[in-house]
Structure 1
């Protein structure tokens, strides 16, 4: 006999989960107690806020492809964690959020911290459920992992009534699940090959979740053998080695005119696992609705994404890794060398380092980091215009990963960096953060200190919620309201949590500052002129 909580923990371990991020709560004390006896098998990282814990779990899922696990208490704990669930949904990251729930006999009385989790999380999760019978724990946990990883990956939410967790059960632990993955048919591959062979200006656009390392390598091999230009989706730059002659940039905010021209002039776009979201399509204006002018073959791991916005010429439901592995066998006779050269030249021209008004030039700093970073460094960021700099000027590849929120969630970068350190303590982890962005989750400095998981944090301090300020000036010129920030002393904050600190007031100081913190982790504060709001864009 065992308690339901003990069985639950054993099921997590059986599914190969090795870390939990969470804030302890009385509603799941039974689980915390069960974890006490499993310390060697699964680690509980105590965070300072449920939002930080959920961001960590989302980042874990995005990086590993296995569900990140988060535990929070009922009511406020669950609502605090919702930002990570929303990020996991928009970013297609496998994640499971466990919520300690009120006792089953207290439902629908507006008990202390009671929430209807199906109603609250339903629109932003793949599946929301509650375990009322301890004998169903193995079944529901297996289904949760399967749901989080199948098709388009995403979050699952499970409520755990505290009285249920204390009950006993004789159920046994099931083996690890296996995931079914859709494959393209021979006809699908033939359709792609024929379309490419008849094209004169083809493009490949890639993105989404569910890629593995071999899939990334096969993608590059196929693109390079066929000499087809590749565009990566928003915050998916690490799907393709940026030094490859076939890489021509990411379809993000502030697309270059050269990229827009390539997309407009292409006569065939092979879209692999990229959903047609707002950022990638510039608010659905890059392509005509509902039927694009360009011929588009859209492949995606989830059939729900095919025909969802655009009615393309061909829709193929396939796992991206399986698709690109089969495309390697296609014999594509390249007839577009001039087109490829035009696209790559446009990419290079768009990456010329701009001058800045302020003494700190973020583009030059990113250019320096290309030589300073380890090849397997992991880069994280939250949300804000500051992220455009490294997205544009840092080089990514299959080993140098980017973990960043496509949901636009401010504060995601620093918890994500801690999560990366918990997975790979010896690897370089660099977090880019705006001053406002960092302060949304800087309480997780305590988590980093307690667990000795210290990344390098580069703070862009321009004394403003800069992205909103930019839009404000565009719509309400000379009427600055609510977007200015009076920031704390970041040096004092760093020292309080045992982080080294370096201040950079001019570009020439950066290399020395980075070298001082690169080994043990630390915070580098960049003094940024608010007028340098983004590459080639100035305020005022």
Structure 2
């Protein structure tokens, strides 16, 4: 037994951890309390005037909230969960942060050190579970054995989450370590080291642009700042380049700008897909060029695209991993566009040969904004009504499902520099993401409106976080539940592959409006388009969390026309036509 007297200024490691978070600029942490990190919870109580712990109802929801925090702030989102079941529940948010390139630190309580490797209660080896790597769930997994080294580990976690391609980090906290006394000082706020394009790379890129006839920009990925999105818009303007946004990164470029060509993702406008395929130069600034953005690696054929490809990415490990690009540039997104901003066409924009190409790209986007009315509930009109009634800087969130197609196609996102992030959506395709993300946004940025568009299956995965919204002061929060009584995406695939043989995708749903009222929310139900606007006006006037339950026919996925087309194509295929 150690009988040495406590050192002057010593406090429990749990308190030091909270002090380290405060030093990193964290004022909010999300999580579900657990007995494995009681000392940290006591630290939150000690410093409750400087940082708050938002207690959530399930660890998956808490991790999604932290991921949204990382997207909104550009700093690591913070999540605390307990060992075993808590960690496994939180893994969905960790995976989302990894695929979305979002900085996040997940703190996991662990069994006491003297119980390790015995399969103690809820014990898991987190290095094995979340093992870092290009196909893992985390950039780094660390376990703190010595309280005196805790500030070092926290600082490394923040640096790792922010450096290069941003992403999630896991720190494991043995229960007994957190109660140890330490006088270790916390370390300064982490600031990411940034990489600029080399001058020679910019010279080469300028030459490629000058030689192009049909260039196209795809913007995406994590690590963007307000300054860099301004620079991106300025660069595109100088060169009159058509710009598309990668899957679920639509708020990197003003969708109302005449240079905007649309989103390059699921449900891509066929005219835009043809344009990407016909381009002679693709300038990919930031995206990984994953499956969703490349149409299953067909719009840009892997490993060697037909188009000339310049790939700019913050992570050296990503460059050349899938595509053998003609030019690869490692640069941070906070600096890449600032460097591109300095490039100018030698004869001015009026001399560029692709001006008609750019105008036609935007005209294609505008034509895709048109749609035939659908009765009795027209989701296109619902999205347009939201846009008309709410400010342009409103934050829109969604999870996964065909319902999101209406939002992605018909809502026009503003860019990051025009009031902050306006799109929170999982490129990982995680169901249940949108509602916790909306709750986090409403709690963190209470002066902004937040709208979650959710499917019926999507909402019930995390809808219990309505309680979290009420407990932590959410106000300008609207959730629109699109209820067609089915897992719409799966139903669509079934109709394509096995027409008329629906199995496992039908849902039995509650009265969502009654459910919301039970949580203290204002709620409305609507079955006709005309009922939507009055309900939204009441929600806006009340400035209290409101759920709008939209009831749609079961055969509506993205539209009846889409589903009918899928059915007819499947029948022709099965008939040999």
- TM-score bin (small chain): over 0.9
1:379 aligns with 2:401: no
1:486 aligns with 2:499: no
Secondary structure in 2 matching 1:538? helix
Q: Extract structure 1 runs of 4+ deviating beyond 4 A.
A: none
TM superposition shift of 1:175: 1.2
**C-alpha deviations, 1:512-535, integer Å up to 9, x for none?**
111111222200011112322115
Distance 1:321 1:124 in 2: 24
Q: CA RMSD in A?
A: 1.1
Q: Could you tell me which of 539, 542, 562 is aligned with 1:537?
A: 562
1:192 aligns with 2:205: yes
TM superposition shift of 1:476: 1.3
1:348 aligns with 2:361: no
Structure 1 alignment gaps of length 5 or more: none
Q: How does 1:83-482 map to 2 (within 5 A)?
A: 83-122=92-131, 123-332=136-345, 333=348, 334-356=352-374, 358-398=375-415, 399=419, 401-454=422-475, 455-482=477-504
Secondary structure in 1 matching 2:145? coil
Contact kept? 1:224, 1:245, Cα under 8 Å: no
Q: Could you tell me which of 55, 60, 66 is aligned with 2:69?
A: 60
1:511 aligns with 2:524: no
1:8 aligns with 2:17: yes
1:22 aligns with 2:35: no
Contact kept? 1:418, 1:453, Cα under 8 Å: yes
TM superposition shift of 1:493: 0.8
Q: Which segment drifts farther, 279-288 or 428-437?
A: 279-288
Distance 2:414 2:529 in 1: 26
Distance 2:15 2:277 in 1: 57
Secondary structure in 1 matching 2:534? helix
Q: How does 1:42-57 map to 2 (within 5 A)?
A: 42-57=51-66
Contact kept? 1:461, 1:526, Cα under 8 Å: yes
TM superposition shift of 1:370: 2.1
Count the aligned residue pairs. Answer: 539
Distance 1:236 1:8 in 2: 33
**C-alpha deviations, 1:386-438, integer Å up to 9, x for none?**
01101100010123610001111100111000110121112100000000100
Distance 2:287 2:255 in 1: 18
Distance 1:495 1:370 in 2: 25
**C-alpha deviations, 1:145-171, integer Å up to 9, x for none?**
000011111111111000010111111
Contact kept? 2:194, 2:334, Cα under 8 Å: no
Contact kept? 1:69, 1:95, Cα under 8 Å: yes
Distance 2:381 2:360 in 1: 25
Q: What TM-score does the superposition give when structure 1 sets the normalisation length?
A: 0.98
Q: Which segment drifts farther, 2-11 or 518-527?
A: 518-527
TM superposition shift of 1:331: 1.6
Contact kept? 2:484, 2:552, Cα under 8 Å: yes
Distance 1:138 1:255 in 2: 46
Distance 1:16 1:308 in 2: 34
TM superposition shift of 1:271: 0.6
Secondary structure in 2 matching 1:62? helix
Contact kept? 2:443, 2:469, Cα under 8 Å: no
TM superposition shift of 1:355: 3.0
**C-alpha deviations, 1:106-165, integer Å up to 9, x for none?**
011110000010111112111111100001111110000000011111111111000010
Secondary structure in 2 matching 1:420? helix
**C-alpha deviations, 1:445-485, integer Å up to 9, x for none?**
11111112141000000001111111111111111111111
Distance 1:366 1:403 in 2: 16
Aligned to 1:33: 42
Contact kept? 1:353, 1:364, Cα under 8 Å: no
Distance 2:251 2:101 in 1: 15
TM superposition shift of 1:320: 2.1
TM superposition shift of 1:225: 2.1
Secondary structure in 1 matching 2:130? helix
Secondary structure in 2 matching 1:12? helix
Contact kept? 2:222, 2:333, Cα under 8 Å: no
Structure 2 alignment gaps of length 5 or more: 1-9, 568-577
Q: Could you tell me which of 34, 59, 81 is aligned with 1:72?
A: 81
Contact kept? 2:140, 2:169, Cα under 8 Å: yes
